[in-house]
């Protein structure tokens, strides 16, 4: 089953009429697919790319004894 994208005015009228009952699992998946929500919930804020590429994570190099 494929869900069609609902237009904002359609959704608004359904919500106002009390006829919109979303599946909590679908709401959670939609929220977690948004980066800002994941960062808010986890507290993890990855560095933003300057040139479109993610910076490489720092490499742990062995130290001399």
Question: Total domain count for the chain?
Answer: 1
Domain of residue 24, residue span: 11-42
The pTM score is: 0.40
> pLDDT tens digit string along 16-65?
999 988 889 988 888 888 878 878 888 776 666 666 666 566 667 777 76
Residue 29 counted as domain residue: yes
Residue 58 counted as domain residue: no
Residue 18 counted as domain residue: yes
Cα torsion 8, 10, 16, 18: sign: negative
Residue 57 counted as domain residue: no
């Amino acid at each position: 089953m494929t869900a069609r994208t609902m237009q904002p005015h359609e959704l608004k009228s359904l919500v106002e009429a009390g006829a919109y009952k979303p599946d909590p699992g679908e709401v959670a998946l939609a929220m977690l697919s948004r980066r800002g929500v994941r960062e808010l919930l986890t507290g993890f804020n990855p560095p933003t790319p300057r040139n479109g590429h993610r910076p490489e994570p720092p490499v742990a190099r062995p130290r001399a004894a």
